[in-house]
Structure 1
Amino acid sequence: MRRVPPTLLRALVCGALLVLASCGWGARTPGRGEGPPAAPQGVTAAAGSATSVHVMWNLLPEDPRVARYEVYRGTTKVKEVPGSEHMVDITRLEPSTTYVFTVRARTTAGVPGPPGKAARATTPAAAAADRTPPTRPGGPHGRTVGSRAAQLSWAKSSDARGVASYDIYQGTSKIHSVGGAQTATVVTGLRPGTAYAFTVRARDAADNLSPASDTVRITTAPGSDDGRGTAPTGFRATTHRADGAYYIDLAWIAPEVDGMITEYQIHLDGRPVTSLVWGGDAPRGTNHHSFYVGREADAAHRVRIRAKLPDGTWGGFSPERSVTTGRQ
């Protein structure tokens, strides 16, 4: 691994990767009332049909408290949703058209924040005189992922002109959509020790909706667990020395969840030391990060990491790794 000089490392950290602890993001100004909320991270957009797009983003922290999210198509506000929600369907769109969506938060005091990164989606072509819905999704399965999440999967539906998306329902309420090529999803933000019933329906470009799949019934584990099902995997930690200082080098694989994970928290020796927010597109596979730990050789440290999930909750911790400066 090529060693990065500290000056370059600091520039990279405060550029592509925003380090809240050192770069001052999210700071509040005393005596000036409630500050603006941050820009929503992890904004994605995916066509649900020839005339609809599913927009999703990550919930912001509650300080300052977010009253609602505003969704814009270009410069036009097209939807508002409560601050507890992080997805919405934008309808009445044109087929075969590319749209650009942004999301901004507004506090309970009415203070708006900046828009998040723009997300683009292109609606498919309309299917002329198509009134035939896709077949119902088959073989649905589900399993709990600890006390706060569930993984669902199903068999593909068929349609003469292709499936544009799958809608996931919790009881009678639609809670999510995924692309037509996807046959699995992870639902987070569930309550411990609670019974849930999920179904899946397929949608084609003409907005024809299939019958619901068989019901998947699961009950989350009681009490609080370590959230291991939503923890980063493949976590590794090593050290290197550069310009007389020691750094811990981390590598991990992002948890498999729908939406984008843009924030991680690193714990060193049992306490949080850094929150990382990706300034650009967050990697969906392997992530890397290095941070300064001092100039002392043979210093032993324990390190672990966890991700903030798109629903605003923290996922489980990775396994804890032990490293010693000056040793590999």
Structure 2
Amino acid sequence: MAALLLTACGGEEKDTTSPSTPSGVTAQAGSATSVHLMWEHAIDDKAVAGYEVFQKGARVKRLPATQQMVDIDRLSPKTVYSFTVRARDAAGNLSKPSAAIAVTTPAPTPQDKKAPTRPAKLRGKADGGRAATLTWEKAADNIRVSSYDIYQEDSRIHSVLGAETTARLTGLRPGTIYTFTVRARDAAENSSPDSNAVDLTTAPAPGDEVPSTAPTDLKAIARNRNVDLTWTPPGTGGPVKEHQLFLNGKLATTIVWGAAPPAGTATYTFAVTDKPGTRYSVKLRARLPDGKWGDFSAQRTVVIG
């Protein structure tokens, strides 16, 4: 009788290797009720999937691998807090906790109702494909500027202490247009108006030297109950007959020229019905001759008067 031999087919070997421990953790109080954390990226034998922030052993934030900074809000004034950071891979393995970093929130100033002045002359430069450096002139406050908050479009992505007028941003994507603004904030959580906006384009990844398909030179001006837009359509080697208009991150309308599209600068005006003081963020993208939608333009912010 012949013997039948069976062999088991095993699957992939289970990943049991934890990422390295995040280093360089720093913490600074941005106000009486918030703390800003930053750290250096960890490494893994496959890939880091994200980070987890702990306060006294309790997880308070869960973040993607591209984010190495976070604001912890809703804290108590005049309180000492201690934070650690752990890296996580796709298999769920957690690194050892980072060294604990302690920070003390300052006393509140509830009587302070006056916001700082607008930070002036924001400038910036891309540092390769994944980082950028911003600089600005300091703002003034009736008491003290406690921090500067950096916004990418409408999201706060970074903060620095009020004594600083420069910030280095990491974790950016190659070949991408970014629009940054800065706001000054005091200990009573009063925030200034936005600084001027600065547009930066990170360097493309090696082997990905593809021209941008984003509209450029976008300007948005509020006029009575209308918003006037002007921009330069992308150079595509063919006519660009359609653009999508996004308001506050959502598609609002498609701008279509029935005849030949305008040569050079394009213009468009749309009416608004919201009350004065309403804030809009505006960006565009073009339909390319091959039918695909191109890259987004830089974003502009406009406030209805």
Sort the TM-score into its range (normalised by shorter chain). 0.5 to 0.7
AA partner of residue 116 (structure 2): P
AA partner of residue 67 (structure 1): A
1:270 corresponds to: none
TM-superposition CA deviations, 1:1-26 (whole Å, max 9, x none): xxxxxxxxxxxxxxxxxxxxxxxxxx
Q: Does the alignment pair 1:177 with 2:155?
A: no
AA partner of residue 169 (structure 1): Y
Q: In the alignment, which of 130, 146, 159 is matched to residue 164 of structure 1?
A: 146
1:153 corresponds to: 135
Q: Does the alignment pair 1:118 with 2:85?
A: no
* Structure 2 SS opposite 1:78: strand
1:138 corresponds to: 120
CA distance in 1, matches of 2:205, 2:51: 31
2:194 corresponds to: 212
AA partner of residue 129 (structure 1): Q
AA partner of residue 166 (structure 1): Y
2:224 corresponds to: none
TM-superposition CA deviations, 1:222-275 (whole Å, max 9, x none): 5549xxxxxxxxxxxxxxxxxxxxxxxxxxxxxxxxxxxxxxxxxxxxxxxxxx
TM-superposition CA deviations, 1:22-56 (whole Å, max 9, x none): xxxxxxxxx77422222111111111110000111
Number of equivalenced pairs: 196
CA distance in 2, matches of 1:66, 1:60: 7
AA partner of residue 135 (structure 1): T
CA distance in 2, matches of 1:104, 1:148: 22
Q: Which has the larger radius of gyration?
A: 2
**Identical residues among aligned pairs (%):** 53
Question: Would you say the 8 A contact 1:34–1:64 is kept in 2?
Answer: no
CA distance in 2, matches of 1:115, 1:90: 18
Question: Would you say the 8 A contact 2:17–2:45 is kept in 1?
Answer: no
Go from structure 1 to structure 2 and tell me whether the alpha carbon gap of 1:194 and 1:180 turns closer, same or farther (over 3 Å shift): same
Q: Does the alignment pair 1:75 with 2:76?
A: no
Go from structure 1 to structure 2 and tell me whether the alpha carbon gap of 1:38 and 1:190 turns closer, same or farther (over 3 Å shift): closer
CA distance in 2, matches of 1:62, 1:190: 20
AA partner of residue 179 (structure 1): L
AA partner of residue 110 (structure 2): A
Structure 1: any 5+ residue segments left out of the alignment? 1-30, 226-328
Shift of 1:66: 3.0
Go from structure 1 to structure 2 and tell me whether the alpha carbon gap of 1:132 and 1:60 turns closer, same or farther (over 3 Å shift): same
Go from structure 1 to structure 2 and tell me whether the alpha carbon gap of 1:190 and 1:33 turns closer, same or farther (over 3 Å shift): closer
Question: Would you say the 8 A contact 1:38–1:113 is kept in 2?
Answer: yes
Shift of 1:205: 0.7
Question: Would you say the 8 A contact 1:138–1:213 is kept in 2?
Answer: yes
CA distance in 2, matches of 1:82, 1:115: 17
* Structure 1 SS opposite 2:134: strand
Taking structure 1 as the reference length, what is the TM-score of the superposition? 0.55
Shift of 1:181: 0.6
Go from structure 1 to structure 2 and tell me whether the alpha carbon gap of 1:83 and 1:190 turns closer, same or farther (over 3 Å shift): closer
CA distance in 1, matches of 2:113, 2:31: 14
Question: Would you say the 8 A contact 2:146–2:186 is kept in 1?
Answer: yes
Q: Does the alignment pair 1:103 with 2:103?
A: no
CA distance in 1, matches of 2:161, 2:205: 33
* Structure 2 SS opposite 1:160: coil
**Larger relative CO (CA 8 A, sep 6+): 1 or 2?**
1
Q: Does the alignment pair 1:34 with 2:16?
A: yes
Shift of 1:151: 1.9
Question: Would you say the 8 A contact 2:19–2:44 is kept in 1?
Answer: no
AA partner of residue 132 (structure 1): K
CA distance in 1, matches of 2:47, 2:204: 29
* Structure 1 SS opposite 2:139: coil
AA partner of residue 45 (structure 1): A
1:198 corresponds to: 180
Structure 2: any 5+ residue segments left out of the alignment? 1-12, 208-305
Go from structure 1 to structure 2 and tell me whether the alpha carbon gap of 1:148 and 1:44 turns closer, same or farther (over 3 Å shift): same
Q: In the alignment, which of 33, 43, 67 is matched to residue 85 of structure 1?
A: 67
